[in-house]
Structure formats: structure tokens, C-alpha cells
Amino acid sequence: MMHDNRGRKAPTPPPAFRDTKPAEPEWAYAWNAEREAVRPAEIPTYAEKHASEHQMYAQLAETARAYDMLDQQPDFIQRVVMGTITSLERSNGVKRANMYLTKNFVERIFPRLHLVNRQYRLEKQTADNINFHWMYNKLPDLSTKKIDALAEEIAQFIALELSKVSTEAEEQSLSDFKTAAAMFSRVKSIARELGQDLPLKDKKKLSLDDMTPIIARLYSPDWWKRKLRRQAAIWREHLYIAFGQVSKKTSAYASRKAILEWKEQRRRTREFLKSMELEDEEGNRISLIDKYDASVSNPAIRRCELMTRIRGFENICEALGYAGEFYTITAPSRYHATNVHGHRNPKWDGTSPSGTQKYLCNIWAKIRAKLARKEISIFGIRVAEPHQDGTPHWHMLMFMKPEHVETVRQVIADYAMEEDAYELRNDRARKARFHVEPIDPDKGSATGYIAKYISKNIDGFALDDETDDESGKPLREMAASVSAWAARWRIRQFQFIGGAPVTVYRELRKLDDSDTAQGLSVEFATAHFAAYWSDWAGYTNAQGGPFVKRNALAVKNWYESSEKLSAFGEEVVRIRGVYDTQVGSGCPIITRLVEWKIVPKRAVDLAVDLSGANATPWSSVNNCTGPGIGPQDGRTENDMPVSNLEKLTPKERRKLVKRVREQESQRRQQRRSLGIKRRFDPGVKPEIAEKMRDSARITLGIELSLNEIKSLLTGQVMHVGDIGFRGQSDGEIYHVPAAPSPLKKFMKLKQKYGPKDETEQQEMLRRHLQKNSQSEFKGGQ
């Protein structure tokens, strides 16, 4: 049977049921794809908004407070901190920079700076210091010129106050002693208000002769200049230590500024010594710099003398069968500004290196008294050297009887570890505080133990291959830093304990008359012979041995009072010779026969020889014209160049120019007669070269070569002594001002961009208050 569906087809069956979700369709365009519905914005509540604003205002207030704390610091601290903030802003953003200011500076650096500032600042204003309060608290930033101006003002104020006291004393008809006592009381109160201690002697009752020099010092501007300069230097260096600029990570032992100032001071001292001479009463002169280099002021001679003395002690030790010990004493951790890694020490209490030195001296005073009570004597040398943060510690090489070794070691250990004993929990901590090393002759001599420390603290001699344990740098390079540290804090680096005095030893070495020495006594002759031949052991034994008392010496220094008083009216007592104690001081041997005074060098001694190395002329121009010029070579006085043109009249100048031109004309004729032709460089015109030669002959008294003329025409500066000159294309020679030294450049920049003086600050404050008061008045209207 046929089925006719009339063109219709059966429908397609539905797809099978699927358990999984169909895949998302791929849209032709990204903008046509389905997106999630946009959620409405979350509106913060009032409490959340108030908390956020409170946090923002708190951060702003904290930042403002931090900047106020930063403004209280000296300018050199502010520059370092602001430089760090600027760097952090560029690299990590403002938030990170503000975090450094509010966290690192406020919580870590500012407390350390505050510990230092409160030791030097004038916290309270009184009637005696109100005029100097602001300027005195700016001492670390002041230049030398401003410090000297402040010293002048203080001295004038004290002089005015003393005049008032003197007037009142005259009205009351007081005696000289009571007048001096009233003046002394007044200057003492003023000095106390200015944070200065009086140079008092160890006396309970002062006489008129004791008070008068002190009063004279207090109204002397020079005395105040020295005190304030010293105060500014140690205050600045102490702040560098607190800030972390003195450590193994930055500059070990001393700040970079202190090292530069020490080197500059040494340079200036040597320049001064070179320009001065010693003159006796008969007019004989010797070079001051040569005398300086031949004395113990020379680091090399000083080192040799120290090594001679310690070697002599070792010879005495070997002869007597004594034992040697090497001790190291270190202060507790609260005296150290940074730890061994160069990071800030949170236990530091703000003590300066000089304060730590006083602590170590007090420790040694207790040790010495305890040994004296036990009737134990020792002798040797003590060396004070700095840690990397400037905190001093002691190395001691001591000799004693073998039976006293354990007792001495125990006494020193007890006093060295007495303070802050809670820190000494293990052997490592105890070794860091106090360490002892017996001298073993098999390992080396006693002198070898201490030689390294002596050389390191003087000039670094023979330490080229040695490395510093504190800074990790070569020891020879760190010798300058150690010397700068000792000079800045005035710490005595070397001190001998026991033995005979070295001043008598030096005076005996000046005595060349052995017959006179032998005519006094055997002891005197023995001491003189040993000192003359640098035998410290023999000299010490001749004086009475290593444990001799000062009142039992065989030879002593003889002092004589000078006829002239000091600048403050004090009697000047100087060493003039030595005497034998058995004979008495009435029969001294004079070792200083000639009285010398320091005078400037003569102009003839400072003349310049242009044929050799450059030298400094005495006058503003060069007085020399080279070798072979003078009457001995046929020239007359009229042929010699004039040294000072400023004193010449116009008529004399014209005569001088005419004479120079005639001489040059004669030279040209001589060259023509000999067939000599002057050669000129194609790039230099002959008339310009001749004009420049004439100008150099007249103004400088020298003869320029062709190469020198070419150098001058290219703009280069030539120097004759301290005079610089430059040529120009017109053939004239012009003086060039001397280039300022780096120190002068620094002072000029500091004066221009540094803190303003007190008058400018007061004027700015007055204008600010006047402006605010006018705006308030207008607002009130």
C-alpha cells in the first residue's frame, strides 16, 4: 500500500538530554559580549568617613610635628635629612618619604640628637645670656667669623659688667681683695650661664693673685674665641656621631669634616712655620720649620722616642726577671654610639669620646689606688685608641713581679667589669670588656706587641700591608683619621706609667759638656751618658729604677721665672736646665743658653729664583730676574728691574718704560750684528709677542719664552709665586685673582645659603608679626 505524504517530511527528533550546561557562545565583537551587571557604589557610613578623615589629619599633624623637630636641628643635619627625603620621594613616593621622616627620624634619630644638644645648648634664658642665647645655640652652624663676633660681644658685655662692679666697689671703698672677689663672683655667674667652666686651680681658697688672671681671661675676646671655637667643633662632631656619620659604614674614627679640618690645620701650621724664623739676642737666625722637624713634634721622631722608651722598659724587665702582661679595657655598651656592624646602638646614653676617656681614667685611678694599698708596683705604657664610632678604649703593656701577676690581673678585671655587670653573661661579653694576654717571649718581644698600636696612632709607619680591624681599610690610610680624632677630642694617646720623667731625659740630651756632668756626681754622669746615647733603661736605672718616686730622682729639671708676665698677668715659669739633687738646685746646669723669639723671615730669604722651582715672593711682585743678574755680570743698578711699581711716580714710570725699550733695542742691534734672526710662530704676531715681553719685564721682572707667550695667548694662567697672570690678544698682561681655597669656597657658600644671622632673623620676625597684626586689624574693622 502506498503512502502519499504530499511532500511533507517527518519532524527532526529533539536532541538527547544533556546533564552539563552548554558552552558560552563566542561573540563576534568584544563590546557585544555579555557583561556582569554594574553594582551600585558602596557609600561609606559617617563613622567610616570620620575615621578616615581623622587618620589623614593625624598623619598630616605627625608630619608637621616631624618637620618642626627637624627645624630644631643644625643646618648640616637638616641638609642630610632633607636629601634623604628628596631621594625617597623620587624613588618610592611621598608616602615612603613621610614614613622615613615620622618613623626613622623622629623615633630613632631625633632622641639621639636630643641627648647631644641638651649637653651644649643653653636651655634657659637669663639676664646674663639673653643677648647671646639664640646665637650661642647656633654654634655648630656658625662660621669662624661669626663665632669671633659672638666672642667679641660676650667680652664687651663682661667688661661692662666688671666696670659696674668696680664703680660700686669704689663707692663702698672696698679693698682690692674684696673688689677682686666681687668681680670674680660676677664673671663666674656669667660663665656659668654661658655653659663655660672657669680655669680654676685646685684650691679651696683663692688669693688675689689667683683671681686676677681668671678675671682677665673672662673679659679677653681671644680667650672667648678659643673657647667658642672649641665648643662649636666638639658640638658638631658629637652630632655627627649621634647621627651615624662616624662609623665603619661612613667615616671611621672621625667625621669627614673633622679629618679635612685637621689636614687643613696641619697645612696652615707648616706654611706658618716655613714663613717664620727663630732669632736670638745677637740677631742670629735659624729656620723654624727645620727646628720643628728636628723635635718630637715630628711624628717620625715622636714614634722613635716612644719605641726607645718602651724598649728600655723591656730591657729592665728582662734584667730584673719581671713578667709582662698586655691588657685591653673597653667601656660598657652604653658608651658606644654604634655597634660593631656600624648600626645605631639603642643603649647609647649620649656620652662623648672625651666623656668615655674620663670614665676610663676614673677606672685606672681606682686600680692604681687599690694596687698602692696592696703595695704592688707596676710600670709600662698605656695607648688610647678609638673604636670605629670614636669611643676610646685602652691597650696597656705592663711589667711587674711574677708573684703579682694574678693579683694585678684580678684587680684590673674587677674594676673594668664593675659597671653594668649585668651585660657580662658569657665569656665573649667579658672578653669584650676586659681582655688579658700574657707576654710570651717565644711569640715575640713585648715591644712587638705594642709597636702596631703606636704606629697606627701616629703615622702608620711600616703598616702598608696591615688591615684595620675596625674599618677594614689599610692601617696606613687610617692614621690620619686617628690623629684627627685625638686632636678633636684632645685625648692623650700615649702615657707611660712608672719610670723616670722624659722631660729630664730630653734636657740631658741637649747637654754636650760631659766633663761638667762627670764633675757633679756619679749618678748625674750616668744619667747624662745614658740619655745622650738614647739608653732609656740606663737612664731609668740611674734615676732610681722603674718605681722611683718623683721626690727621689737623682736629676731634676731646673725652672726659672721669666721677667715678663703672660697676657693675663701670670708669672711665666720655664725650664732652663737640670740639677743634681745631691748638690741642690742652687747649682744648676743651664741647657737652654739662648733666648729665641719667633720672627718673620726676611724678604731676601723669601726671594724667588725663577731658574729653579717656584717660590713665594715676599712682595706683590717678583724681585728676582734669574741667576747671573747683578753687578757681578756687568749690569748697573739702572739695569735692574724695579720691584714695586705702585710706589713709582708717573715720571719714573715713563723713564722705566723708556729704559726697557732702549735695552731691547740694543739687544736687537746685537742680534742683527751677529746675524741672528728671531723666529716667531706663524700664529703669533711679532708685535704682540714683543709687547707681551715688554709688559712681563716691567710688571713681573721676568723674561717670557715663545712657548709661554703662546700659552698666555690661549687663555692659560701662569704663576710667579702666588701671583697669577693671563695674557690677551692685545699683548697686555693682566693679574688674575688667586683662586680661593676649598675651605674659603665652603665658607662663602655657607654664608650665602646657610643660616641667617640674628639681626636678619629678628627683622624677618618683626615684619611677619607686623603683617599679621595689620591683617587682623583690617579683619576686625
Of the candidates 330, 329, 500, 325, which has an alpha carbon nearest to the alpha carbon of residue 404?
Answer: 325
Residue 499: in which H helix or E strand, if any?
none
Q: Distance between CA 336 and CA 247 in Å, rounded?
A: 11
Q: Which residue carries 739687544 as its cell?
A: 667
User: What residues act catalytically?
Assistant: 449, 453
Amino acid identity, residue 70? L
Of the candidates 100, 95, 64, which has an alpha carbon nearest to the alpha carbon of residue 82?
Answer: 100
Asked if residues 121 and 72 have their Cβ atoms less than 8 Å apart, the reply is no
Residue 578: in which H helix or E strand, if any?
strand 571-580
DSSP 376-399: ---EEEEEEEE-TTS-EEEEEEEE
DSSP 181-241: HHHHHHHHHHHHHTT------S-SS--HHHHHHHHHHHT-HHHHHHHHHHHHHHHHHHHHH
Q: Which residue carries 517530511 as its cell?
A: 9
Q: Which residues contact 688 (CB under 8 A, 6 or more apart)?
A: 713, 729, 730, 731
- Which grid cell sits at 344? 645605631
309-331 burial code (b ≥16 CB/10 A, e <16): bbbbbbbbbeeeebbbbbbbbbb
3-state secondary structure of 625: coil
Cβ-based burial of 521 (10 A; exposed 0-12, middle 13-18, buried ≥19): middle
- Which grid cell sits at 292? 720643628
Cβ-based burial of 195 (10 A; exposed 0-12, middle 13-18, buried ≥19): middle
3-state secondary structure of 557: strand
DSSP 687-713: HHHHHHHHHHHHHT-----HHHHHHHH
Crossing angle of helices 221-243/110-120, nearest 10°?
Answer: 160
- Which grid cell sits at 553? 730622682
Q: Distance between CA 431 and CA 330 in Å, rounded?
A: 9
Q: Distance between CA 466 and CA 474 in Å, rounded?
A: 6
- Rounded alpha-carbon distances, angstroms, from residue 729 to 197, 699, 715, 738: 63, 18, 9, 22
- The DSSP 8-state label assigned to residue 31 in this structure reads G
Half-sphere exposure of 775 (CA within 13 A, CB side): 6
Q: Distance between CA 206 and CA 444 in Å, rounded?
A: 53
- Which grid cell sits at 720? 710667579
3-state secondary structure of 333: helix
Asked if residues 245 and 251 have their Cβ atoms less than 8 Å apart, the reply is yes
Amino acid identity, residue 430? R
Largest CA distance in the chain: 172
Count of positions (residues) in the chain: 781
- The DSSP 8-state label assigned to residue 612 in this structure reads S
- Which grid cell sits at 189? 655667674
Of the candidates 168, 208, 154, 153, which has an alpha carbon nearest to the alpha carbon of residue 184?
Answer: 208
Asked if residues 397 and 306 have their Cβ atoms less than 8 Å apart, the reply is no
Q: Distance between CA 198 and CA 175 in Å, rounded?
A: 24
Q: Distance between CA 734 and CA 699 in Å, rounded?
A: 10
